[in-house]
Structure 1
Amino acid sequence: MRTVRTLAAALVAGTALLGLAGCTAEETPSASSTSSPSQNTSRSTGSSTDEDTAKAPAEAGTSFRTATVIRPGQSGTAQASTGDYLYWQFPADAEDRTTVRATVKLPDAATRHGSHRWQLDVYDGLRRHQACRYGSNSKSAPAGAASVELSCALRTVRAWSEPWANDPLPGAYYIRLTVTDAPDQDLGLPVSAEVSATTDDVGGASSVDGSLAEPLVPASGPSVEPEDGWSSGWWSSRWLWTAGGAALAALAGIWGYTLTRGNGRPRHVPPGL
């Protein structure tokens, strides 16, 4: 019975170890993010500090090659004209889930001649258009509206993918903001725009086997990587769960063997047998 009690205690300890692994996986570094209806928590790369705010870019690129770099959790602003194509760039690593938001302050209502439809598009490092899991990435603003707000919640970035798949991969992601429908008389009117990308690390639940040799970033031109570097999918909380599960399986096997082999003493044999 002492052996059984000892093994039972060891099994309980193994269970606690597995629980600790789960807690460790969930306690990813986080920082304040921009306020939003979903109140997402940013990764450590999205730290919102006075220094980051001071360095926030106040312009946008006009193409993929000249896209202005912003960090997750950092806002980028720009003054432009209705009809311009505005581009920003941000990094996204394996197991990241990003939500992109944009706010456009429209020209004065007295100068407009009708409604304006704005659209927010996101492209990966291969310049493939990325679908939104949810959000309003295209919205029409009535003639009297002062602003329009857009959002796009992207799919989780995977460390690796089959060549035929369209999964989002680690690397640079591009934001494109433009008006898609407006009266010709309104083209050229001044607007101001603000965009942000808020990133959550969803952990090992979305990890996969394999990883890219290199993240998909521009060969030349502006680019930025996460503050803690590219993980490329080599580490995830699945390692903790795997180790905890292996420990529990080993303890369960020892316990089962002890129960089935008996106490090792010879059984009493009745006389005459």
Structure 2
Amino acid sequence: MRTVRALSAALLAGAGLLGPVAVPAFADSATPTPSGSAGAAESAGPTEAGTTFRTAAAFRQGQQATAEASAGDYLYWVFPADTGQRPTVTASVTLPESTARHGSSTWRIDVYDGLRRRQPCMYGMQSKTAAKEAPAVELSCTLRPVRPWADTWDEDPLPGSYYVRLTVTGIPEDDLGQPFTARVGAVSAEKGGAYAGDGTLAAPLVPGATTEDAAAGDAPSAVEARAPEDGWSSGWWSDRWVWTAVGGVLGALAGIGGYSLTRGSGRPSRVPPAV
């Protein structure tokens, strides 16, 4: 009976510990929600865009940034992404009336990290052609999960600023300069320890920031100005810590159960006294 109780306790403890962490560690939702505020309503972002990396308009994940511009302009925005997040960037372009256009147009979004390295999309419609009659065009780009660190030769996404560039890549010459309205946003799926690493950056890749500024904690600094709403995670935490603790507890319980079974099987059987 003691053995049965020990094994039952081990199973119950394992179920209780694994239950709450199994879903966030491996769930791969097709529709990510804004980091830190699942299901939160989209809030207003900037109403204009920059024309270069240096003048990019900043917004946070979960916000919607808008801008009015002319076909042929390059529009830039920037948002923060932290360790363990897999950002999805979306863009919607509202086109002029079809009667004012002379043909189809092709639009494209590109995403760059804090080192201005273009990041490839895992999936999504990064470039799309809108027919002459189409009222709008929708674009999206899902990046690879952000890692806490990488070797210098690697181009994995790292925590820091991410730039979004929107432009038209193909359009009739007569349509250049026509007005359009753009709406851009970004949300992340939390990937957690599945993509965790064993190291961290000295500071997030935020243009204008230095390692010394981050260490000194100067305020306001470029690092904090471009930080997510709940701050940078610094990369030390991941749900691998939870799995390590769970493994240790289950290993201890399994050892207790095995000891009980071995001890029970090694006892000599009792011989009834002779009459």
Structure 1 length-normalised TM: 0.84
**Aligned equivalents of 1:92 and 1:63: distance in 2?**
20
Cα deviation for residue 262 of structure 1 reads 4.4
Question: Which residue of 1 is the match for residue 14 of structure 2?
Answer: 15
Question: Which residue of 1 is the match for residue 68 of structure 2?
Answer: 79
Q: Which amino acid aligns with 1:62?
A: T
Structure 2 length-normalised TM: 0.83
Question: Which residue of 2 is the match for residue 243 of structure 1?
Answer: 245
**Aligned equivalents of 2:37 and 2:229: distance in 1?**
6
Q: How many residues align?
A: 255
Q: 1:76 to 1:7 in 2, by over 3 A?
A: same
Q: 1:254 to 1:47 in 2, by over 3 A?
A: closer
Residues 8-31 of structure 1: CA deviation (Å, up to 9, x unaligned): 2431343134224526856x9xxx
The within-5 A match list for 1:232-271 is: 232-262=234-264
Q: 1:218 to 1:82 in 2, by over 3 A?
A: same
Cα deviation for residue 202 of structure 1 reads 2.0
RMSD (Å), alpha carbons: 2.6
Cα deviation for residue 249 of structure 1 reads 0.5
**Aligned equivalents of 1:199 and 1:120: distance in 2?**
17
**Aligned equivalents of 2:257 and 2:135: distance in 1?**
70
Question: Which residue of 2 is the match for residue 43 of structure 1?
Answer: 35
Higher deviation after alignment, 99-108 or 119-128: 99-108
Cα deviation for residue 110 of structure 1 reads 2.4
Paired residue for 2:144, among 155, 160, 174? 155
Gaps of 5+ in 2: 210-221
Question: Which residue of 2 is the match for residue 175 of structure 1?
Answer: 164
Question: Which residue of 1 is the match for residue 215 of structure 2?
Answer: none
Q: Which amino acid aligns with 2:237?
A: W
Question: Which residue of 2 is the match for residue 102 of structure 1?
Answer: 91
Q: 1:205 to 1:68 in 2, by over 3 A?
A: same
Residues 41-60 of structure 1: CA deviation (Å, up to 9, x unaligned): 2222577458x33xx21000
Gaps of 5+ in 1: 29-37
